[in-house]
Amino acid sequence: MLLGAFLFALTIRGSNLPFGFTLPAIGLIAAGPLVAIVSAFASPETKWSEVLLFAAFMTALCAGIFKYALGLPIPLAPWLLGY
């Protein structure tokens, strides 16, 4: 258990150790639906039309709240905008 927590912390931190890695920023527009779709695989009772609708709604809601209403510096689509 302790080893798993240690490896997870190294993965998140992105160290230079062989089992630590970092991912490029994909932005909220790609990460939001990706999280919803991957988590939908946890249930055998998944209705994919509902998952896609939920993913689109939550991504738009999160972008509206965190990026525009609160003004947080969250990249929406760095792969699309080039930064």
Q: What is the rounded CA–CA span in Å between residue 29 and residue 76?
A: 5
State the first-to-last Cα distance of the chain, in angstroms, to the nearest integer. Answer: 38
Q: DSSP code of 64? A: I
pLDDT < 70: residue spans in the chain: 1-24, 81-83
Distance separating alpha carbons of residues 63 and 31, to the nearest angstrom = 11
Please calculate the CA angle 70-29-59 and round it to the nearest 5 degrees. Answer: 65
Per-residue pLDDT reduced to its tens digit, 35-50: 999 999 999 999 999 9
The CA distance from 11 to 18, in Å, is: 10
